[in-house]
Amino acid sequence: MSDPIIIFSSFLTAIAGNLLVGAALLCAVFNWLGRHDRDSTAAAFQRRLYRALPSLSFFWLSQAALHLLSVAILFPAIYSGFETNPLVLGAAATVALGAFAMQQLYLSKEKKSSSTKTDKATLLLLLIGILVSAGTTWFQENYQLFLMDHGFARVASSITQGLLTFPTNYYSQSAFLHYSVASIAMAGLALALGLYESSKEDEDPPLEIKRIKSGAWIFLAATIFQAPVGGFYYNMLPAEMMARIAGSDQAVSTIFGISLLLMTIAIGCIARAAFTASRFSLKAGSLAAVGTVLCMMASRHQMRTMTLEACLNVDALTDLTSTETTLAIIVLLLAVTSWLFYLKQRLFDLGGRSGS
């Protein structure tokens, strides 16, 4: 029961990070493209992305904190040698509740005001995207450090070592680049679907068609670029992990194969949306793309588990208490509730665009 909870919690955090990183990077690009004409389509997209950044920041923080909270509850019951610091639980709960409250505050402000000052600092936006991408990549690879004895000292040491070795560490570079490009792809989908909207601007059909086609093309371009990056990342994996993905481990290779199939379906559907602005193709492709991310998170969890096999306490797997599982499920439900609230605000309310 614990593995599905951790995988799904990791999936929600990854998607939230994709939306934030992709929004910051695309906002910088659109800001540069529309620097000479603030009435252009690029400038309009830039303003929408910029308005979404504050709520997305708090949304990502809440998801990351809830994910860490679920891991802190479940991992000590599975892996021996980890001693959860009580500060982790308190900090994660505080960040999650505070970030979720701030997210609602910013979303409510967006409803009251349709005008937001446009940020013209392209380099600053790029820096935000790069820092969040690097932080998320590191967190996904190293969050078990928070559960160890003297965890915060180990965390600081890991961050320092990562910064010093990053220029020569091809594995870290490929992981960072892969996540950044994936974020741009998912941000393109979110732009096409209207997940960054907060006003009635899209009621103009020609602009809506431009938004759908632009977002779809962004997804396709980023996904095509992802292929060589993903191949390079795959070659950086340890030989045993590569063997498992290639077929020696049926569960891992099956999940990886399903993710490739879903990505192929996503590319086909969204390519059609890029040419025809078909909403059905866009939605079908988006579901396939989201399924791909979920499968990738499952594969990453399997690889992480394999890395920690030396610490794996097999006897504890059958002794997982119902209290710990219940608490983890409650944490997961809080994360899902946050997601549903965000989707309601973005997809259904849209500043009263439903007509009610």
- Quick one: average pLDDT of 258-272? 92
Q: Are 254 and 232 in contact (CB under 8 A)?
A: no
pLDDT of residue 315: 57
Q: Tell me the angle at which helices 2-33 and 170-193 cross, rounded to the nearest 10 degrees.
A: 80
**Segment 47-86, tens digit of pLDDT:** 888 888 888 888 888 888 888 888 877 777 666 666 677 7
Choice between 217 and 45, residue whose per-residue pLDDT is larger: 217
For the chain, give the mean pLDDT: 78
pLDDT of residue 351: 40
Calpha distance 71→16 (Å, rounded): 17
**Amino acid identity of 75?**
F
Calpha distance 217→219 (Å, rounded): 5
Calpha distance 226→222 (Å, rounded): 6
Q: Are 184 and 214 in contact (CB under 8 A)?
A: no
pLDDT band, very low/low/confident/very high, at 284 (cuts 50, 70, 90): very high
Among 15-29, 139-153, 223-237, name the most confident range. Answer: 15-29
Among 8-22, 93-107, 204-218, 244-258, name the most confident range. Answer: 8-22
Beta carbons within 10 angstroms of residue 215's beta carbon:
27
pLDDT of residue 314: 53
Angle value at C-alpha 160, between 154 and 165, nearest 5 degrees: 120
Run of H or E residues at 65: helix 41-78
Q: Is the model's pLDDT at 307 over the cut of 70? A: no
- Quick one: average pLDDT of 335-340? 82
Q: Does the global pTM surpass 0.85?
A: no
**3-class DSSP state of 312:** strand
